[in-house]
Chain A
Amino acid sequence: MTLDVILFFILALIAVASAAGMLLSKNAVHAALFLVVNFATLAVFYLILGGPFISMAQITVYTGAIMVLFLFVIMLLGVEKLRGEDKFPWQIPTAVVLAVALLIEAGYFLFFRRVPVDMSGTASLPETFGGPQAIGSTLFTQYALPVEIAGVLLLVAMVGVIVMTKWNEE
């Protein structure tokens, strides 16, 4: 138990530091790399929570595919250096207001609306919890419709991209 807590705080520190690094770095490639570290830390969190499938999916999809594409585009366009002038002057004040609101909300729930967490169930998780078979059968029975809708949505996006690239050739 204590080992878990220590591990959690180390990972939390890495996650927060990499998120802050992403926001503060002046170089777009560095920002993307900080985000990669953040995603990878999240994957380790899933692993600690007993979800090997979602952890591996997190790394494959976000760290491995999406962020590589991000990096690819940044390098291809040569926009590593962020320009000095601020295009959106309202951005920082809005962000500060929203962050304070979120902190107040979280603090309220943490200190005043405390719900006792039932920890008794965690020790008796089934062996297959979070495994590929369990997730697969849940996705294609209980959540079949949302999965299909998401699939169609992705297909539409893909067809849209192909149509847009072909448009210019005529």
Chain B
Amino acid sequence: MESALFWEWVIKSVVILLIMLTGFAYVTFYERKALARIQVRIGPNRAGPGGWLQPVADGVKLIFKEELIPAEAEKVTFVLAPIITAVPALIITAVVPWGETVSIFGRQVSLALANINVGVLYIMAVASIAVYGIVLAGWSSNNKYAMMGGLRASAQMISYELALGLAFAIPVLLSGSMNLLEIVQAQKGFWYILLQPVGFVIFIIASLAEVNRSPFDMPEAEQELTAGYHTEYSGMKFALFYMGEYIKMIAVSSFAASFFFGGYSGPGVDRWPWLGPLYLLLKIAAMLFWMIWMRATLPRFRYDRLMAFGWKVLFPVAFADVLLTAVVLVLMPQAAGAALFLPLLVVNAVVFVLALALLSMGLGGKQHVA
């Protein structure tokens, strides 16, 4: 391998990691500000002009906090768990394309870091590893609340991973590729949200559950489990869990943007390739706002309802959607983009009715209280 290419990859990886880490710090600020506005408050406004240095102050505070390890905890797993949570969150965005080729100092540089043909599978693989961090944190703390949080987290993440995988299959089917760059390029001019609104809804619900965001933040439901799996964590170890959660939010938003909103593409991106990253960032910010909005609006699910919803509603609906979409694609092998709009609209309507029927059957009747 050419050494310049190697250094190009190293530099690109470092830049993406730095974007993710700064992004994490400012997403926490964004969330606190947005939540405050929704609740008619002002939010953090003391550190720096308009509160913009608040993330720095938080970081400094967390670094200097005392690190506690419970006497009866499993030391090695206790320390490993936050690392296992944070690392997959950091590496999962490697496959998201930030744009096409740009020239920096006369050198042609592709803005897609890992342009691999199994991109979607890579996301699934890394996301499935992230479960370990939470489960191990719960178990190694040797605390009943933490243990319950860890068990809930693993059950929830495994259950919603199925619907999430099927939701990933929809853009893969429509574009005929598992490469995220090709999925984005296939959406030029016609975003998949227009073809598959129901698929998008399945995707965002499942991904909210996958990153344990409200209303699916069962593993850390404070009135039942104090703080769930991270009850015993403090200082930087807690900060790593916090970081994992927010970076996963950014990652999920970038996937939603790439799979359903045309990723980096937008008006004028062919002439000025540097607009690509800007468009992607705007789309990510919009998705993040939606997540914060959900947190401010919806109360938490009850745990048995959460599982019933995942298995009895979301999974069959996702399955029917993938199946019917595949049938349409087999029947119309030449069609792409706008030509698929009407047939897929029918599919989406059928699936939507199915979803309503399952909702009233699966969640409306008598519940077994666990």
Contact = CB atoms under 8 A, between A and B. Distances in A.
Contact of A71 (B118, B127, B128, B135): B135
A5 B276 CA distance: 40
Nearest to A64: B128
A146 interface: no
A64 B118 contact: no
Contacts of A43: 125
B154 A68 contact: yes
B286 interface: no
B128 A52 contact: no
Nearest to A135: B118
A64 to B, nearest CB: 2
A27 B150 CA distance: 18
A132 interface: yes
Contacts of B116: 52
B339 interface: no
B318 interface: no
Contacts of A131: 117-118
A131 B158 CA distance: 26
Given A29-B139, A52-B116, A68-B158, A63 B129 contact: yes
A60 B155 CA distance: 16
B327 to A, nearest CB: 16
Interface in A57-75: 57, 59-60, 63-65, 68-69, 71-72, 75
The DSSP consensus for interface residues of chain B is helix
A53 B121 contact: yes
B125 A56 contact: yes
Given A56-B121, A60-B121, A65 B151 contact: no
B151 A132 contact: no
Contacts of A53: 118, 121
- Interface core residue of B77, B121, B155 (most chain A CB under 10 Å): B121
The DSSP consensus for interface residues of chain A is helix
A102 to B, nearest CB: 31
- Interface core residue of B118, B124, B129 (most chain A CB under 10 Å): B118
A36 interface: yes
A41 to B, nearest CB: 14
Given A59-B125, A68-B132, 9 more contacts: A33-B77, A52-B118, A56-B122, A56-B124, A57-B121, A68-B131, A68-B154, A71-B154, A72-B158
30 contacts: A29-B77, A29-B139, A33-B77, A33-B136, A36-B132, A52-B117, A56-B118, A57-B121, A59-B129, A60-B125, A63-B125, A63-B128, A63-B129, A64-B124, A64-B161, A68-B128, A68-B135, A68-B158, A69-B158, A71-B139, A71-B154, A72-B151, A72-B155, A75-B138, A75-B139, A76-B151, A128-B117, A131-B118, A132-B118, A133-B117
